[in-house]
Amino acid sequence: MIRESLMEVGRINMRMEELRSKGRAEDDQEMLDLSMEKARMLRPCVNLTAEDKVFLARKIERPHIDDFIKALFTDFFEQRGDHLYDDDPAIYGGIARFHGIPVSVVGHRKGHTAEENVAYNFGMAKPEGYRKALRIMDQAEKFGRPIITFIDTPGAFPGIDAEEHGQGEAIARNMARMSSYHVPVISIVTGEGSSGGALALGVCNRLLMLEYAVYSVLSPEGFASILWKDSSRHAEACEIMKLTADDIREAHVADEVIPEPLGGGQENPRRLYGSMDMAIEKNLSALMAMSPGELLRDRRRKFRGMQ
């Protein structure tokens, strides 16, 4: 388990940040020692188990949709609410430019602090959230803008009001409508993509996954508790579920895996954004060369072929 070494890396990062802010020449030797120590601590991250990747995918320091929108897009205009009932803070999105091209961007929202996570409900959306995403995406279809979705959720929110407002219908409707768009749709699983709550933003032409992201039918805990009535068999579930980015690509569900810095995106966010930018740019230009009809058929064919 890489948990301990990553905690140590976190401490080193903090100390390095502190020294850097002071900017004193006499600290140079300590800085050098620290960076060597950090490299040593990150060494186990070369070979990660599925459980390690689940841990990384959920890490609170991991870059989230707010960071991606700031780093990869310009002129972001946030759109709020489903304009039917409510605004769900677990979904975040709007209109922006990617390399100058107007696009619609939407995804699950997670925070970097406990307070933020509570405010965003840990990225667990209610029907209002899925309908907000649908509103954003329907407008993209109307105005011919490409759609880019970021997937990062433990699942749809299981609650009384969520059920009363049609959680199942909201997810189903999103998938059905996404399958009928004539604009490019690119989805990127950036953290944990669990259950229908993830797929509700994932009916795309191209599915990309960050190297340490995971995608699965249910959280490993839920999986273990349903199949074995024992949620503590988490590690075993992680292995058996074949949920890592490489597994998902081998299953012909993901099209591409975006490499991450050693130890995860949070260790070198700028490098991660660089890789993401390249991957989105490449796939988007390929898709934008296709006609509206081709884009629709391409997406339908992709999901029709899911065995």
Partner 1 sequence: MEKEERSLKTVFRTVTRKLAPDYVNCKSCGRRAVRKVWQENMNICPFCGRYQAMSADQRLSLIFDPGSRQDFNSDAGVRDPLNFPGYSEKAKKLEKKTGLKESAVTAFGRINGIKVVAVVLDTRFFMGSMSSRVGEKVTRAVETADREKLPLIIFAASGGARMQEGIHSLMQMAKTSSAVQEFSENGGLYISCLTHPTTGGVTASFATLGDITLAEPGALIGFAGPRVIEQTIGVKLPKGFQRAEYLHKHGFVDRIVKRQELKEVLYDILKLHEDSRGAFTEDILKGGSR
Closest distance to partner 1 from the beta carbon of 174 (Å): 9
Q: How far is the CB of 81 from partner 1 (least distance, A)?
A: 20
Helix (H, G, I), strand (E, B) or coil at 209: strand
Identity of the residue, 97 or 242, whose beta carbon is nearer to partner 1 in the bound complex: 242
Long-range contact set of residues 201-204: C-beta below 8 Å, sequence gap at least 24: 201/106, 201/107, 201/108, 201/133, 201/149, 201/150, 201/151, 201/174, 202/149, 202/151, 202/178, 203/174, 203/175, 203/178, 203/179, 203/299, 203/303, 204/147, 204/149, 204/178, 204/299, 204/302
Considering beta carbons, is residue 45 or 124 the nearer one to partner 1?
A: 124
If the CB atoms of residues 80 and 242 are measured against partner 1, the closer one turns out to be 242
CB 276 within 8 Å of CB 68? yes
The closest of 94, 207, 83, 97 to 151, measured between CA atoms, is: 207
Complex with partner 1: residue 197 or 263, whichever CB lies closer: 197
Identity of the residue, 38 or 302, whose beta carbon is nearer to partner 1 in the bound complex: 302
Task: Kindly tell me which of 162 and 280 has the beta carbon lying closer to partner 1.
Answer: 162
- How, if at all, do strands 256-258 and 206-210 pair? parallel
Of the pair 19, 172, the CB lying nearest partner 1 is at 172
Residues that bind partner 1 (CB under 8 A): 156, 158-160, 162-169, 171-173, 175-177, 179-180, 195-196, 199-200, 202-203, 215-218, 222-223, 226-227, 240-243, 247-248, 251, 253, 299-300, 303-304, 306-307
Tell me the closest approach of the beta carbon of residue 1 to partner 1, in angstroms: 23
Q: Provide the terminal-to-terminal Cα distance of the chain, rounded to the nearest Å.
A: 33
For residue 186, the minimal CB distance to partner 1 (Å) is: 15
Nearer to partner 1, 10 or 166 (CB): 166
CA dihedral (15, 19, 22, 25) in degrees, to 10, reads: 170
Q: How far is the CB of 100 from partner 1 (least distance, A)?
A: 31
- How many CB atoms are located within 10 Å of the residue 283 CB? 22
Retrieve residue 71's tokens. Answer: 């780093």
Least CB distance to partner 1 at residue 169 (A) = 4
Burial of 232 (0-12, 13-18, 19+ CB in 10 A): exposed
User: What is the distance between the alpha carbons of residues 57 and 172, in angstroms, rounded to a whole number?
Assistant: 26
Hey, how many other C-beta atoms are within 10 angstroms of the C-beta on 3?
Answer: 12
